[in-house]
Amino acid sequence: METTIIERGENCMPVVNIQMLEGRTPEQKENLIKEVTDAVVRTTGAKKEAVTIIISDMKKEDYGHGGEVIK
């Protein structure tokens, strides 16, 4: 049975939120999760099992930079 984040309580830290424009493949996201997890473990000493990565894809029309919507 897989344990949910809520059930893990204090053991689910740190949490890394990544926001990026949509368009990455599932393989790219998987590699990103692995690489970011490894970096967090290496730099903070956290256990790999405690690291949570959340990727939020944004539609281009929902993102602006410098006062302009990304197109």
Number of H helices and E strands in the chain, helices first, is: 2, 4
Given 14, 35, 49, 62, the catalytic residue: 14
Tokens of 15: 């949490």
Catalytic residue check, 14: yes
Residues annotated as catalytic are 14
